[in-house]
């Protein structure tokens, strides 16, 4: 049986918890766009070095910085030529701290993995239609199928923990909320997830978005960017 959209409802979806974490995008525990996933810390090879590494690598980095002058001699590469057995670390352009070759290899590997170790909290929306005995939100009943698209929220670059999900009206009133646990999935960085909301996609040509989707990484207190949506339509 097909159903059609019938205008727009003003009330929020019933029966859902609408807790919204206090604070804005830079709440407690949020260190901005360079926030590391749980288990990683900033390397700090220099003051602005926010590459995320393990704590042991950061400790090694600090120790190498402290020992820098003792490993330099005047030689073929100037006054910062490394003593035998050491090479420049090259964690960033111009980094001439002398370290073991294995430490330099680690620095290069950490640089390559940097983007995948940050809580960049990506969020995107896909659409789906329900199948037989599918409510469209992960629950099943004897409901029939229809051809009305619903909203699915998706994300990656989260901590491996709870993520709270919201559909807001533009005035910040909550229309729908839910939660999901981010986990490892092939092809996605950090913790990733997908959540069928059961909420109808109300977008139509000529209609501007009247709301937005947003996700909240509980462990880091970091919000995703806002993704515009059209919500609040009724069906017949």
Task: Give backbone dihedrals phi and psi of 121, rounded to 5 degrees, phi first.
Answer: 50, 60
Residues 128 and 224 in one domain: yes
Domain count, the chain: 2
Residue after which a domain boundary falls, among 83, 116, 149: 116
Residue after which a domain boundary falls, among 116, 150, 173: 116
Task: Count CA within 13 A, CB hemisphere, residue 80.
Answer: 13
Supply the pLDDT for residue 4.
58
Range of the domain at 212: 5-31+120-235
pLDDT along the chain (236 residues), means of 10: 54 46 47 94 97 98 98 97 98 98 98 97 96 58 69 98 98 98 97 97 94 98 97 76
Residues 209 and 150 in one domain: yes
Strand partners, 210: none
Reduce the DSSP state of residue 166 to 3 states and report it: strand
Strand partners, 224: none
Residues 6+ apart with CB under 8 A from 133: 140, 141, 142, 143
Residues 138 and 204 in one domain: yes
Number of Cβ within 10 Å of residue 84's Cβ equals 6
Supply the pLDDT for residue 18.
47
Q: What CATH number should be reported for the domain holding residue 25?
A: 2.60.40
Residues 186 and 223 in one domain: yes
Alpha helix stretches (DSSP H) within the chain: 55-66, 101-112
Residues 14 and 47 in one domain: no
Residues 188 and 83 in one domain: no
Residues 98 and 215 in one domain: no
Residues 6+ apart with CB under 8 A from 25: 222, 223
Supply the pLDDT for residue 13.
46
Task: Give backbone dihedrals phi and psi of 127, rounded to 5 degrees, phi first.
Answer: -120, 155
pTM: 0.82
User: What DSSP state is assigned to residue 33?
Assistant: G
Supply the pLDDT for residue 29.
62
Residues 179 and 127 in one domain: yes
Residues 64 and 156 in one domain: no
User: What DSSP state is assigned to residue 70?
Assistant: G
């Amino acid at each position: 049986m097909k159903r059609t959209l019938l205008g727009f409802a003003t009330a929020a979806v019933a029966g859902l918890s609408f807790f919204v974490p206090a604070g804005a995008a830079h709440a407690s525990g949020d260190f901005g766009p360079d926030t590391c996933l749980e288990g990683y810390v900033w390397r700090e090879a220099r003051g602005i070095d926010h590459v995320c590494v393990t704590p042991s690598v950061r400790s090694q980095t600090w120790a190498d910085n402290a020992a820098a002058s003792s490993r330099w001699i005047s030689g073929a590469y100037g006054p910062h030529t490394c003593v035998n057995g050491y090479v420049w670390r090259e964690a960033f352009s111009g980094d001439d701290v002398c370290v073991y070759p294995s430490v330099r290899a680690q620095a290069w590997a950490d640089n390559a993995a940097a983007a995948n170790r940050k809580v960049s909290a990506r969020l995107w929306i896909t659409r789906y239609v329900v199948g037989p005995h599918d409510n469209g939100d992960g629950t099943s009943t004897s409901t029939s199928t229809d051809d009305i698209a619903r909203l699915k929220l998706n994300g990656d670059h989260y901590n491996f923990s709870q993520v709270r999900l919201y559909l807001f009206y533009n005035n910040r009133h909550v229309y729908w909320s839910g939660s999901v646990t981010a986990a490892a999935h092939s092809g996605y960085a950090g913790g990733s997830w997908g959540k069928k909301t059961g909420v109808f996609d109300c977008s139509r040509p000529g209609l501007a978005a009247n709301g937005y989707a947003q996700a909240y990484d509980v462990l880091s207190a970091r919000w995703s960017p806002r993704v515009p949506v059209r919500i609040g339509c009724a069906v017949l």
